Amino acid sequence: MLNLTPNGFNSSGCWVRIISPDREIKDLAKRENCNWQELLGHDNQEQIVYTSYSSCTYIREGFGISLFCGGAKNDFGLFLRPFNRRIDWWYNGRKEIVTDDIKPMPGQKYHNGAPDTDQLWNCTLQEITEAVTALRDEYADDFYYKNNPDEMVFLAWNEGFLRYQKNDITGLLVNKNSKESVYFALAFRSALEIQGHLYSYDSDNGTCEYLNSQNLCEKLGINTQTHEFKNLVFHYRNLYKNTFQEIIAAKEHQQKSQYTCLSK
């Protein structure tokens, strides 16, 4: 049966992240063989497989939620499955504090300076859902919305810290009117062999639209059989492969060094 919305979007909610493809591919390659424990926390920053957290936005059907991104029309993003494991940190976005420059410190609880009531730690998706609902209800009590009851309450972006893997990607978010957005998303999907569909997201009314890739390519004039497109796929695929092999080699070197030290 065709999935017309991303996994979890119309029930528990799910995650979405706007990406920079090259950096994203390197992070995904580093996380390839990590177990779930290695994807949590920020105390082991010296580990070979350590990556920074990926900032993601929780979205759900019927919730008007802005996405945290540069706003470029050529951006594309990833939809991620609803995680059963706990989320290390989540912020509701009330004060719109940008956390990029606030790096996690080993041994310290992450805090972006917002009131504790606007942040959650070691939380579940259900707790995040309840917090988003409570924030929407709070905003709905505002004078403006009380006088415009038919207007959807709009929420600023929120931010959750996740480390996900390639298999956690359930779809791709694109700007359906941008040839570049769709072009790069299709190349990324092909290179990493992601099974998810393309979707557009309307933050004004909290809806996702399934997009037929073939129809979209015809509309935007995208030809996935050109050398240019295939070269981009090759670049993404090689970047993933080479980064993964570098991690394996670094681990093997580390193990040999540790064995040599123990043998002395």
pLDDT, one tens digit for every residue, the chain (264 residues)? 566 899 999 999 999 999 999 999 999 999 999 998 889 998 888 889 899 999 999 999 999 999 876 555 678 999 999 998 899 999 999 999 988 889 899 989 999 999 999 999 999 999 999 999 999 999 999 888 888 888 889 999 999 999 999 999 999 999 999 999 999 999 999 999 999 999 999 998 899 999 999 999 999 999 999 999 999 999 999 999 999 999 999 988 787 776 666 565
pLDDT of amino acid 72: 54
Range of the domain at 153: 14-263
Contact predicate 221/177, CB 8 Å: no
Contact predicate 179/152, CB 8 Å: no
Structure tokens at 26: 């390197």
In a domain, 8, yes or no: no
CA-closest candidate to residue 20, choices 59, 64, 72, 67: 72
In a domain, 6, yes or no: no
The DSSP annotation for 227-239 comes to HHHHHHHHHHHHH
pTM for this prediction: 0.92
In a domain, 5, yes or no: no
CA-closest candidate to residue 241, choices 29, 34, 19: 29
Strand pairing of 159-162 and 54-59?
antiparallel
The upper half-sphere exposure of residue 195, i.e. CA atoms within 13 Å in the direction of its Cβ, equals 6
Structure tokens at 9: 């979007």
In a domain, 54, yes or no: yes
Structure tokens at 190: 């092909």
**Structurally, how many domains does the chain consist of?**
1
pLDDT of amino acid 196: 93
pLDDT of amino acid 163: 95
Only one residue has tokens 């990590």, namely: 34
